[in-house]
Amino acid sequence: MANRTMLSGNEAEEGWISEPEGLITDVDLRTHENNLAHRTREIDRKRLIVRRGQPFSIALQCNGPLPPKHHLELVLHLGKRDEVVIKVQKERGAGDRWWFNQQGAQDEMLLTLHSPADAIIGQYSLAVLMMSPEGRIIEKKDKISFHLLYNPWCKDDVVYLPDETLLQEYMMNENGIIYMGTWNNIKSIHWNYGQFEDYVMDICFEVLDNSNDALRNSQMDIQRRSDPVYVSRIITAMVNSNDDRGILTGRWTEPYSDGVAPYRWTGSVPILRQWSKSGVKAVKYGQCWVFAAVACTVLRCLGIPTRHITNFSSAHDVDGNLSIDFLLDEQLEPIESKGRRDSSWNFHCWTESWMRRDDLPEGNDGWQVLDPTPQELSDGVFCCGPCPVTAIKEGNLGVKYDAPFIFAEVNADIIFWIVQENGQRRKIKADQTSVGKNISTKSVYGDFREDVTLHYKYPEGSKKEREVYEKSGRRVTDPTDESAEPARLQLSIKHAKPVFGTDFDVIIEVENKGDQDAHVQLTVLAMAVTYTSVYRGECQRQMTTVKVPAHKAQKEVLHLRYDDYAKCVSDDHLIRVKAFVGAAGENEPIMTVTDIPLSRPEVFIQVSKKVVKGKQVTADISFTNPLPVTLRDVVLTVEGAGLLSSTEVLPHADVAPGQKVFVRFPFSPMRTGVRKLLVDIDADKLKDVKGVANVIVRKKRRLLP
């Protein structure tokens, strides 16, 4: 941290002289001008909020000129107990110190304060002291409060991002898109980050104040808040509540009855407000996309450019061997192991934040991975990152923080083993290309997906990819026996895009590339799983003997009815189908696996054509129950940054099969601009139905006199 001139907590009080009438009668923080120049008007229009490394001015209203040979001194206080006190220099010195200059005109003095680009972020209290020629305090105007944030528009700030298009998205956009589903069937939901909503900034600083570091040593913690590496690491720890006063409790299986199911959230603001209002008690419940979205809100609000990332086919390598091992019994069902185990998630979400890494060698600046989902300990704390994306791509696994774990998330092998009755393992499938696919974020140019996979890894099979693997210690040889002949049988699974509540077919195709007919035993197993690959139950099993003529393909059909999967499907609406073929003459059995996401019904939203700030408008929402059973306890929730807080508008209704529901509700927009109205619908047998509508809010027209 830069050198700073400090005063003791009571030094500024020495020589205090109280006079009946002071020279300074009032202080104008010039909030409108300052907040506009510092791009903080959306946060608050009444309080002064500025960014470091950029000057701001306040005006002192006086009842006369400053007496001859008298001068002003400014003192800044930080912390609830004034843990840090900074004397502001009168003249410009080194760039690492606060300084000010003043201009006087008639009954006003304009003070322009200059903060260093590495100043501590937080709530400051400013005291203006009028000093006598002898150095005594003649008059004091204190408790002048303002907030200081990081400044990605300042080239000397380590979070400087020299692209206004990126800044408008990763700093100023309160709405985002989160990508989910599977790598070959990508879904998306809209999310309300709401970093400019009322009191969100205050909650962000409350999060910092309740970290373990702050509670242990508040003075040291406050001084370290100049460093976004430190602050971002604190945030990733505090978003989960595993070992601190964190915001969210994670839960990946039902029941969620004592809280809110993770899929019901549509924005960060209700979560942050509930945490604060409850006396910093963890909110129930979150999963990876919720953890990442809340972190994105907090980091953007504090001034660090941040984006939400989804990694499809994401590996969780517990033992650090860069291999994800799945053990199956001879019925192809997962073998539950004691203790922690490797896993592969259909998707996993984290954030990337932009910053210069002065603590690392050159080449590690730019986007940094930050993962607040509690998975592994990092220096004894449940957090992950920041880790340079470039280090992951280049295989530099010695770089801080947590590079080996993140590298495995996008690069690990997946190996399936059958455990036989005698306890021996038989490898049936090894895959070096499936992990880390279609790594996604919202585009800065609109509501569509940007693929950033090549930021994390070189193209599959390229020379550079092999060089990185050799550096990292990952195996680069083909996992199969190179001397073996190519398998004459090939297995594939095909399916349509089914809607939850309908019956559908899965087609399994066995192709024989050999010169002789093949008689094979085909086993097909459909099971319900979560997006984190947790087994929920068997939906259907089919075993057949199939004759496949030479150079031909044979198709078998697995019919899946709603009644088959409804009894065990998870809230993620995901069916995993495994097909297994054993045939005489084959060196190894053949297995293929595919995940089938079941889509939800569409939600239709219509908002009044003319929407004006402060004037009541209506929104019409409709959807149709696609299930062959009645939906009970239907709850419809709406929210939108600048539109309305999270509100239930259809509490606990019943909807018959095929019935169309129509809901009309009023609301009064609070802020102008392009806004998004987000809708979530949940019921006893249908979860996580989402809808979104754009709303353009205009200013009130002023009538001329």
Structure token digits, residue 467: 């060089």
Sign of CA dihedral 6, 10, 16, 21: positive
* Rounded Cα–Cα distance for residues 566 and 137 (Å): 77
> Which stretch of DSSP H or E encloses residue 638?
strand 631-640
Q: At what angle do helices 269-277 and 200-209 cross, to 10 degrees?
A: 60
Of 573, 594, 177, 182, nearest to 348 by C-alpha is 182
* Rounded Cα–Cα distance for residues 333 and 527 (Å): 9
Does 536 score more than 80 pLDDT? yes
* pLDDT for residue 235: 98
Q: Which pLDDT tens digit goes with each residue over 228-244?
A: 999 999 999 999 999 88
Per the residue annotation, which of 157, 348, 539, 680 is the catalytic one?
348
Q: Which pLDDT tens digit goes with each residue over 436-482?
A: 999 999 999 999 999 999 999 999 888 898 889 888 876 654 444 44
Per the residue annotation, which of 62, 204, 288, 301 is the catalytic one?
288
How distant, in Å, are the alpha carbons of 322, 410, 461, 569 from that of 311? 16, 7, 19, 23
* pLDDT for residue 476: 53
Does 583 score more than 80 pLDDT? no
Lowest mean pLDDT among 4-18, 227-241, 579-593: 4-18
- Average pLDDT (634-659) is 91
Name the band, by pLDDT with cuts 50, 70 and 90, for residue 498.
very high
* pLDDT for residue 318: 81
538, with CB counted inside 10 A (0-12, 13-18, 19+), is middle
Does 14 score more than 80 pLDDT? no
* Rounded Cα–Cα distance for residues 602 and 620 (Å): 14
Helices (H) and strands (E) in the chain, counts: 13, 36
Structure token digits, residue 448: 């569509």
* 3-state per-residue secondary structure call for 228-277: HHHHHHHHHHHHECCCCCCCEEECCCCCCCCCCCHHHCCECHHHHHHHHH
Per the residue annotation, which of 118, 342, 371, 413 is the catalytic one?
371
**Cis omega (within 30 of 0) on the bond before 601?**
no
Name, in order, each residue with C-beta under 8 angstroms of 520's C-beta and a sequence gap of 6 or more.
Answer: 489, 510, 545, 546, 548, 581, 582, 583
Lowest mean pLDDT among 9-18, 170-179, 343-352, 462-471: 9-18
Name the band, by pLDDT with cuts 50, 70 and 90, for residue 170.
very high
Q: Which pLDDT tens digit goes with each residue over 290-326?
A: 999 999 999 999 999 999 999 999 998 887 778 888 8
557, amino acid identity: V
* pLDDT for residue 7: 41
Name, in order, each residue with C-beta under 8 angstroms of 77's C-beta and a sequence gap of 6 or more.
Answer: 84, 85, 86, 124, 125, 126, 127
* Rounded Cα–Cα distance for residues 638 and 190 (Å): 12
SS3 state at 149? strand
* pLDDT for residue 18: 36
Q: At what angle do helices 200-209 and 288-302 cross, to 10 degrees?
A: 100
* Rounded Cα–Cα distance for residues 535 and 331 (Å): 14
Does 172 score more than 70 pLDDT? yes
Name, in order, each residue with C-beta under 8 angstroms of 662's C-beta and a sequence gap of 6 or more.
Answer: 620, 621, 622
Name the band, by pLDDT with cuts 50, 70 and 90, for residue 5.
very low
The residues with which 267 forms a beta bridge, in sequence order, are 192
Evaluate whether 319 touches 342 at the Cβ level (below 8 Å). Answer: yes
Name, in order, each residue with C-beta under 8 angstroms of 94's C-beta and a sequence gap of 6 or more.
Answer: 3
* pLDDT for residue 321: 77
Q: Which residue has the higher pLDDT, 561 or 95?
A: 561
SS3 state at 225? coil
Evaluate whether 307 touches 170 at the Cβ level (below 8 Å). Answer: yes
* Rounded Cα–Cα distance for residues 403 and 473 (Å): 13
* pLDDT for residue 91: 81
Sign of CA dihedral 558, 562, 568, 570: positive
* Rounded Cα–Cα distance for residues 308 and 547 (Å): 49
Does 8 score more than 90 pLDDT? no
Name the band, by pLDDT with cuts 50, 70 and 90, for residue 111.
very high
Of 320, 145, 252, 319, nearest to 536 by C-alpha is 252
Name the band, by pLDDT with cuts 50, 70 and 90, for residue 6.
very low
* pLDDT for residue 21: 61
What's the first-to-final CA gap in the chain, in angstroms? 56
* Rounded Cα–Cα distance for residues 346 and 579 (Å): 18
Say what percent of the chain tops pLDDT 70.
92
Range ranked top by mean pLDDT from 129-133, 145-149, 488-492:
145-149
Residue 213 carries which DSSP code? Answer: H
Confirm whether 204 is a catalytic residue.
Answer: no
* Rounded Cα–Cα distance for residues 122 and 204 (Å): 10
Evaluate whether 592 touches 495 at the Cβ level (below 8 Å). Answer: no
**Cis omega (within 30 of 0) on the bond before 549?**
no
Largest distance between two CA atoms of the chain = 109
Evaluate whether 86 touches 4 at the Cβ level (below 8 Å). Answer: yes
* pLDDT for residue 414: 85
Q: Could you give phi then psi for residue 393, rounded to 5 degrees?
A: -65, -40
* pLDDT for residue 421: 82
Range ranked top by mean pLDDT from 292-306, 526-540, 686-700:
292-306
Residue 12 carries which DSSP code? Answer: G
Structure token digits, residue 390: 């470039």
* Rounded Cα–Cα distance for residues 499 and 601 (Å): 7
Name, in order, each residue with C-beta under 8 angstroms of 247's C-beta and a sequence gap of 6 or more.
Answer: 207, 238, 239, 240, 241, 271, 272, 275, 282, 283, 294
How far from the centroid of its chain's Cα atoms is residue 485's Cα? 46
Torsion angle defined by CA atoms of residues 128, 132, 133 and 135, in that order, rounded to the nearest 10 degrees: -70
* pLDDT for residue 588: 67
Confirm whether 348 is a catalytic residue.
Answer: yes
Torsion angle defined by CA atoms of residues 640, 646, 649 and 653, in that order, rounded to the nearest 10 degrees: 120
Name the band, by pLDDT with cuts 50, 70 and 90, for residue 275.
very high
Structure token digits, residue 308: 């939400």
DSSP characters for 128-141?
Answer: EEEE-TTS-EEEEE
Confirm whether 288 is a catalytic residue.
Answer: yes
Average pLDDT, the chain: 90
The residues with which 108 forms a beta bridge, in sequence order, are 61, 105
* pLDDT for residue 475: 60
SS3 state at 400? coil
Name the band, by pLDDT with cuts 50, 70 and 90, for residue 417.
confident
Name the band, by pLDDT with cuts 50, 70 and 90, for residue 331.
confident
Does 393 score more than 50 pLDDT? yes
- Average pLDDT (515-540) is 91
Say what percent of the chain tops pLDDT 90.
72
Name the band, by pLDDT with cuts 50, 70 and 90, for residue 1.
very low
Neighbours of 473 (CB within 10 A): 14
